Amino acid sequence: MTTVRHRRLAALAAAPLLLLSLAGPAHATRATAPGYVALGDSYAAGVAAGSYDPASGSCHRSSGAYPVLWAAANTPAAFTDVACGGADTQDVLTGQLPAVPGGTGLVTLTVGGNDLDFTDAVVGCLQPLTTESHCDDALAHSAQLLRDQLPGRLDGLLTAVGRGAPGARVVVTGYPHLLETTTTGVCWTGTAERRERFNALTDQLDELIHRQADAHGYRFADPRPAFAGHGVCAPAGQEWINGIVLHDLGESFHPTADGQSRGYLPTVARALAP
């Protein structure tokens, strides 16, 4: 009887503790996101978004870039930003990926445009006074690189990301349409046909990135819907992408601070959500 009585008393004493454990903590705390690493080119670095980190040098990493904005809002356990203007897939593979710490839980990657010599295509098609043949040659060259070289390069890089950050949630972004093809006013950036052809090349690039991301089990973040109506030649005040910037040509045809915060950030945030 004494033993039974002691067991009953012990059960009664444990009951409040059990109820507390079921109820959960009295003051819930916000969960901290796992360590986050941002990889990629000028679109990930935030070239043209301003407020560059002097320590980033020629990489021009901006405090207005989508990785920095996401990290500020979600307070990851650690944040490593090695995105750099001008980077291609090989630069990310050899110069950025080694900086990924062990145990990283989140990775974002924006790369591929420089592998296609997009800058040459911009110069050949969207600068004033360029000829049709020059534009044709530039777009054909980019299309050849996309068909013959980029698939292997991108596959190799994504495989390496998986080895460098095993178990991480990886988001690979595409690129927005840089240009509006229908305008209500005068647009001096290329012709309507050239703008359509340039956007078509972007579609081909995004489709390749999407396929590769899917093949590796990564998430694809497509910024084209968010940027629709906000490309170069959009109505005044609605452009989220710079046209030609004479005082700093490197910022030409890159997302502005609005493009990063209102275009890329919500797109990537949705893809990074659990």
Reply yes or no on whether 261 is catalytic: no
Tokens of 245: 């910037």
Query: Does pTM top 0.75 for this prediction?
Result: yes
CATH of domain 34-272: 3.40.50.1110
Q: Choose from 7-16, 25-34, 89-98 the range with maximum mean pLDDT.
A: 89-98
Contact (Cβ atoms closer than 8 angstroms) between residue 102 and residue 61:
no
H helix or E strand, kind and range, residue 221: strand 219-221
Q: What is the residue extent of each domain of the chain?
A: 34-272
pLDDT (0 to 100) of residue 208: 98
| Cβ atoms of residues 152 and 199 within 8 Å | no
- Whether 254 is a known active-site residue: answer yes
The Cα–Cα gap between 28 and 237 comes to: 42
pLDDT at 31: 56
User: Of 42, 62, 142, 252, which one is the catalytic site residue?
Assistant: 42
Of the candidates 60, 177, 230, 254, the residue annotated as catalytic is 254
